[in-house]
Structure 1
Amino acid sequence: MAQQHLDPTDPLVVPADAVAGYLRAQATEFLRALRTHRETGGGAAAAAEESGDAALALRRSARRISGTLHTFRPLLDTDWSESLRPELAWLSGTLGREHAYAARLDRLVTALNRLSGATPFPAQAPKSGSAAASSQPTTTGRATTATPGSRTTTTAGGRATTTTASAGGRSNTAAASAGGRSTAPAPAVGSRSAGAERVGTAEPGTAGPGSRPTATPDRGSLTVGAAKAGALLDRQLTLARTRAHSAALQALGSSRFHAVADNVAVLASEVPLTPTAPTADLRPLAAAAHERLRDAVTGLPLHTAGHPYNAEALIHGLSPDTAPHPQDAPWHQVRLLLRLHRYALEVLHPGAVPVDVRLLTAGEALNRHRDASEAASAAAAAARTPRIAPATAYALGVLHADQRHEVEASRFAFQQSWQKEAVSTS
């Protein structure tokens, strides 16, 4: 390949100083975020939130440095860039897992509420105590009418006595004496017996006759299977998030991270360019990144994505293999190449990147595709939990199908946006 030389009269030429300035700026952001993270590593909730934002800023800068080293690697020292790039990818992946698990749990719980028709504030059940109490009959004269929860016994003298039972079913009145006199006075006309009062105002959770305990709504008005599925996902993903948080803290204190930070600190002051870099133009390398993106999109089944139903996605739906869905990998690769193309545009236009609505729409569709795909995998993994109830497994299956539908919808949205871009650029 013939070496390209800069033409000082061409205003469109982008020299290698642009990539050096971009790398220095991203390295400075990396070091600033690292200092903020160390200053707010613990303490109050506000400090913890600021520390989380600093970790995300670290990850953002690491991704951009790594992507720039990949796109413009012919202009950079090979040994240095090839040794730093995988370390930055390791750091970015480690710092992003905690946020990914939290977002995945929120997405799945939201989907469960939507699928079950749950409302944020379920209506309160009307109290039945007053109605039960007002419907109790009274007693008149010598004849006593048994209230609900009471029983009538006959003494040796032939006089009837009423024994009122409590809400728990035990008798509150002793049996009549051998002489035939009742030990419990007869209730007055128009008055309610103690049994009626207890029946009408039973304690919550007791099994008193005439009243039923009101079931406490679990997670709004979710069904039993959906509620248990949400609880299972909450346990699994919260545990995974806790482990990811511990792994991130351990990584930030490791010697491996300190070596990465030292290399980034050197990058903030000096970018190791090749001897031929000052005479090179950045536009062909950025165009090559765009061509790799276009070639990867060409390999996608965009015709299938243009239809609302993808039957091929169900071929291995019940496979015991826990590997990611075979159709998702090419789409994830396109998402990575689109991100590299966006970083290359940031290098070429350091002041302000030209806004391309179609590319933004395509990127958002691919982000939703990634989130829905990983959420579906999490639902499938939860469904493989041993000895779960059939209703729970069914709810997880419905949730998995819902997220796979979101995957298909995201592919359709990407297909629509990319076809518009192809028509506009042709």
Structure 2
Amino acid sequence: MAQRHLDPTTPLAGPAPTGDALAGYLRAQAMEFLRALRLHRETGSGAGASEGSADAARALRRSARRISASLHTFQSLLDTDWSEGMRPELAWVSGTLAMEHAYTSRLERLLSALHRLSGSTAFPAQQAGAAPPAKAGAPGRATSAPEHPTASAKTGAPAHPTSAPERGNLTVGAAKAGALLDRQLNLARTRAHSTALQALGSSRFHAVADKVAVLASEVPLTKAAGTTDLRPLATTAEGRLTDAVAALPLVTAGNPYNASALVHGLSPDTVPHPQDAPWHQVRLLLRLHRYAREALRAEPGGAPADESDGTPVVDLRLLSAGQALNRHRDASEAAAAAAQAARTPRIAPATAYALGVLHADQRHEVEAARFAFQQCWQKETVGTS
């Protein structure tokens, strides 16, 4: 498999890591969770929330994901009842805290795309008289977002060519489309913020925090875990990832334009796009694989190597693949938001047109992200075979 022949620092070589390494990794992540929770409480989370509060929420999500992923990959080495009870609760914490950031980023992406497509000098919502953008981490609309590479970049052609009459129609509808998206996604973001605050103050969350506090000092390993090699379990996680990637339509992802991806975009059926689900699954499996590699590097009683600190143990190819899949997810969800807005009753034809163009643009972004993943993954396969 592509991931099994990496650099000399690969965790699949050297002394076998055992349950002691897993215990050290879980304790370190539990301590990170508790530090982030304390920081979140100190920095506040209401209308005057600081940037530190947003950073703390991200740290809570990161540690919750890593603990949950380890309970999934190495479940045979842990107390069954405890791990099965903890995993869904950690997923609830991570998912609840992620929603506000997701809506903010989605609005940022869509307004940036409208700005690029319409050629206007300001965001459409600003032209419509919206309030000035809020600072990052505070309530309100986000400020800006970098432009994302499109599928047309694969061929070197100009990105999203639009004729003059169409450009005029798009400009007319862009302001109202931006204002509509601003209202819908800001409302969703506000609701997500309220839901997160309620969750953090609930007895359910306090129960999770109490269990994580216990985990920081006592990991419920099985009796055999101390002498069990972690590598076969990590290899199983890698195998699931490899099989899922093999099932992806990478040939289609190599095409500059996948017309069939637009078929279901504006249909009355609001279920997730049928082409996207396998790619979302690969993204989750890639995350499990990365976290399993982290656990293998953990020292008994110590913290694992940090994949964000630039140390030599980082597999940049895995990080690049993960970034491509994150872009895929973001573009897919943004396209769905544009399609949902286009279903709003009694909107003007120019607004509907702008939203349709925006939806198609984001589906182009989906294809570009798939192509980027394909290139990254195939390069990895060639370089390690």
Q: TM-score range by the shorter chain?
A: 0.7 to 0.9
Q: Secondary structure at the match of 2:221?
A: coil
Match of 1:299 among 239, 244, 247: 247
How far apart are 1:54 and its partner, in Å? 1.1
How far apart are 1:319 and its partner, in Å? 2.0
The structure showing larger relative contact order (alpha-carbon pairs under 8 Å, at least 6 residues apart) is 2
How far apart are 1:50 and its partner, in Å? 1.6
CA offsets 1:194-225 (integer angstroms, 9 cap, x no match): xxxxxxxxxxxxxxxxxxxxxxxxxxxx8220
1:12 matched to 2:46? The reply is no
1:79 aligned residue: 81
1:376 aligned residue: 335
Match of 1:355 among 314, 335, 338: 314
Match of 1:98 among 72, 97, 100: 100
How far apart are 1:48 and its partner, in Å? 2.6
2:112 aligned residue: 110
- TM-score, length-normalised on structure 1? 0.72
Q: Secondary structure at the match of 1:415?
A: helix
* RMSD of aligned residue pairs (Cα, Å): 1.9
2:260 aligned residue: 312
Q: Distance in 1 between matches of 2:47 and 2:341?
A: 34
How far apart are 1:44 and its partner, in Å? 7.9
2:132 aligned residue: none
Q: Distance in 2 between matches of 1:383 and 1:29?
A: 42
1:287 aligned residue: 235
How far apart are 1:42 and its partner, in Å? 5.0
Q: Secondary structure at the match of 1:394?
A: helix
Gap change, CA 1:306 and 1:42, over 3 Å in 2:
closer
CA contact (8 A) 2:39 2:53 kept: yes
How far apart are 1:352 and its partner, in Å? 5.6
Gap change, CA 1:422 and 1:65, over 3 Å in 2:
same
Structure 1 segments of 4 or more deviating over 3 A? Answer: 42-45
Match of 1:267 among 215, 237, 244: 215
Report 1:36-185 matches (<5 A). 36-41=39-44, 45=48, 47-120=49-122
Letter in 2 for 1:278: G
Q: Distance in 2 between matches of 1:56 and 1:69?
A: 20
Q: Distance in 1 between matches of 2:306 and 2:341?
A: 45
Letter in 1 for 2:200: L
Q: Secondary structure at the match of 1:38?
A: helix
Q: Distance in 2 between matches of 1:314 and 1:49?
A: 38
Q: Distance in 2 between matches of 1:273 and 1:43?
A: 39
Letter in 2 for 1:310: N
2:375 aligned residue: 416
Q: Secondary structure at the match of 2:336?
A: helix
1:28 matched to 2:31? The reply is yes
Letter in 1 for 2:355: L
Q: Secondary structure at the match of 2:50?
A: helix
Q: Secondary structure at the match of 1:316?
A: coil
Comparing 319-328 and 307-316, the one that deviates more:
307-316
Q: Distance in 2 between matches of 1:364 and 1:37?
A: 27
Q: Secondary structure at the match of 1:223?
A: helix
CA contact (8 A) 2:17 2:231 kept: yes
Letter in 2 for 1:16: G
1:404 aligned residue: 363
Q: Secondary structure at the match of 2:216?
A: helix
Gap change, CA 1:286 and 1:394, over 3 Å in 2:
same
CA contact (8 A) 2:265 2:336 kept: no
Q: Distance in 1 between matches of 2:360 and 2:263?
A: 13
Report 1:173-252 matches (<5 A). 223-252=171-200
Q: Secondary structure at the match of 2:81?
A: helix
Q: Distance in 2 between matches of 1:65 and 1:310?
A: 38
Report 1:328-347 matches (<5 A). 328-347=276-295
Q: Return 5+ residue gaps in structure 2 as ranges.
A: 1-12, 124-169, 298-303, 308-312
Which structure dedicates a bigger proportion of its chain to helix? 2
- TM-score, length-normalised on structure 2? 0.80
Letter in 2 for 1:347: A
Q: Return 5+ residue gaps in structure 1 as ranges.
A: 1-9, 122-221
How far apart are 1:104 and its partner, in Å? 0.3
Q: Distance in 1 between matches of 2:200 and 2:274?
A: 34
CA offsets 1:277-300 (integer angstroms, 9 cap, x no match): 011001111111111100000110
1:173 aligned residue: none
Gap change, CA 1:333 and 1:52, over 3 Å in 2:
same
Gap change, CA 1:43 and 1:59, over 3 Å in 2:
closer
How far apart are 1:348 and its partner, in Å? 1.3
Match of 1:258 among 202, 206, 216: 206
How far apart are 1:70 and its partner, in Å? 0.5
1:394 matched to 2:348? The reply is no
Identity %: 78
